[in-house]
Amino acid sequence: MSKFPNNFTWGVATSAYQIEGAAAEDGRGPSIWDTFTNTPGKIIDGSTGDVACDHYHRYQEDVELIASLHVNAYRFSVSWSRVQPTGSGEWNEAGFQFYSKLLDQLIAKNIQPHLTLYHWDLPQALQDQGGWLSRDTTQHFAHYAAEVARRFGDRVASIATHNEPWCTSVLGHGTGQFAPGMADPVLAIQVSHHLLLSHGLALQAMRATGTKTKLGIVLNQWPVTAATDSAEDLAKAKLEYAQSVQWYMDPIFKGHYPALALAHLDQSLLLIHENDFKNIQQPLDFLGVNYYTRTFISTEHPPRKPEGKLGFSDMGWETYPDGLTDLLVGLHQEYTLPPVYITENGIAVADQLNKDSGGIDDHQRTDYLRRHLDALQAAMQQGVDVRGYFYWSLMDNFEWNSGYAKRFGMVYVDYATQQRTVKGSGIWYRQFIDSHMALHATREYAQSKTA
Ligand code: IFM
């Protein structure tokens, strides 16, 4: 039985570059992902986001699709270079119009829009000036944030500054798997600092507009499990948690970096200005948590692997719902959290369209979803103030360096025809939301009769 509160937010999520397409239309400037995908060898299937799900042209149909799932919220991101082609200077009115029409459509369907400002697609012009390695980018970001808040603040339920800054820092600058494709861990640390700073500056710039919308950030997080009780495994697991989770949480909630992580890096290489932490540690209206799996640490050679009792996704990620409970309860114990939203949670499955039935039986995804919703309830019962859940993703889309080879959607996309088909998991989610609503309606009715 659903123990989620009556006013719980039920949503699905996407991001601009992964679904929009229309890469060079109506004045959109190139972003670092356009450059990266057009660099041979970077994307597994050699694809780009030039067309993606063609959402730019099909947004009306897509809003109908969202509504058909009976969710009450939709999380999406704004492509910075669509609304400001060079990341500074001129605004592109056609770009703003697209999002404005999307918002109108969502609101008309009673779906709350949750907007993310940065889901990894930095305008290429800013990259040419140093990208996130340059402090100037933090100012440009704050300027962009304020403009979006001024224009859309009264129509969106929330604005998140960054999505998963860990990915921009580590995968974009530390390992080079993501745009802009730099592979230097020292640069990655500096980038993480600038991302955090830009978050704090953007929050202040948005608050200064007087917007009443809820402001926050979205972090990808995981609990870290040591493979054994050996001192080596335990120490490495602790360090990994400090470097990935606490590295972002501590500056935002405590105003400094975690000492353990600092002790493991050459601090002379990290440039921090006076007042940076003051700027970063801004009060948040919400924290977005993206959870997919835990991190498993083994110092043995070859390393031990998790048992994976519940299996692995098509990305090779272990299905580990208890990790969601552990993570949230751990965060709740360590920090004074604002209301939390699970802004992403989902699984890639090698879905096949059943030619006979025309449907997609993705029971592995349904099982993942059901178990994670149970895990979320368990965290809430232990006192974590969770206000909403967004499944990643609404539909199959461009999965970064995996191209179109991995499918996370509740809706199947046939990329040749752009036909969308709701998968079994989407039907299950709709029924789950319906029964949750019906339960509350029944409770309210019963209460009104006994009052
Ligand atoms: O597709 C991504 C999304 O853009 C950010 N979070 C993880 C998802 C799955 O890899």
CA of 356 from ligand 1 middle (Å) equals 31
Q: Whose CA is nearest to atom 2 of ligand 1?
A: 399
Pocket test for ligand 1, best of 12, 14, 15, 221 (most atoms within 8 A of CB): 15
In 3-state terms the chain splits into helix, strand, coil percentages (rounded to 5) of 45, 15, 40
How much is the pLDDT for 1?
57
CA of 399 from ligand 1 middle (Å) equals 7
Pocket test for ligand 1, best of 12, 120, 162, 164 (most atoms within 8 A of CB): 164
Pocket test for ligand 1, best of 79, 392, 410 (most atoms within 8 A of CB): 392
> What are 447's two structure tokens?
């209460």
Ramachandran bin of 89, using left for φ above 0, alpha for ψ from -120 to 50, beta for the remaining angles: left
Q: Is 15 in the pocket of ligand 1 (CB under 6 A)?
A: yes
The CATH code of the domain at 9-450 is 3.20.20.80
Q: How far apart are CA 143 and CA 165, in angstroms?
A: 19
- Atom in ligand 1 nearest the alpha carbon of residue 397: 1
- State CA 407 to chain mean position distance: 16
Q: How far apart are CA 273 and CA 256, in angstroms?
A: 12
Q: Domain spans of the chain?
A: 9-450
Q: Whose CA is nearest to atom 1 of ligand 1?
A: 399
Give per-residue burial for 424-445: e unless 16+ CB within 10 Å, then b: bbbbbbbebbeebbeebeeeee
- Atom in ligand 1 nearest the alpha carbon of residue 344: 6
Q: Is 344 in the pocket of ligand 1 (CB under 6 A)?
A: yes
How much is the pLDDT for 2?
67
Q: How far apart are CA 190 and CA 280, in angstroms?
A: 14
Q: How far apart are CA 99 and CA 91, in angstroms?
A: 13
Burial (CB < 10 A; 0-12, 13-18, 19+), residue 231, is: exposed
- Atom in ligand 1 nearest the alpha carbon of residue 402: 10
Q: Is 86 in the pocket of ligand 1 (CB under 6 A)?
A: no
How much is the pLDDT for 450?
82
How much is the pLDDT for 423?
98
Reading the chain (451 residues) residue by residue, the pLDDT tens digits are: 568 999 999 999 999 999 999 999 999 999 999 999 999 999 999 999 999 999 999 999 999 999 999 999 999 999 999 999 999 999 999 999 999 999 999 999 999 999 999 999 999 999 999 999 999 999 999 999 999 999 999 999 999 999 999 999 999 999 999 999 999 999 999 999 999 999 999 999 999 999 999 999 999 999 999 999 999 999 999 999 999 999 999 999 999 999 999 999 999 999 999 999 999 999 999 999 999 999 999 999 999 999 999 999 999 999 999 999 999 999 999 999 999 999 999 999 999 999 999 999 999 999 999 999 999 999 999 999 999 999 999 999 999 999 999 999 999 999 999 999 999 999 999 999 999 988 888 888 888 888 7
How much is the pLDDT for 37?
98
How much is the pLDDT for 438?
87
> What are 71's two structure tokens?
């969710």
Q: Is 345 in the pocket of ligand 1 (CB under 6 A)?
A: no
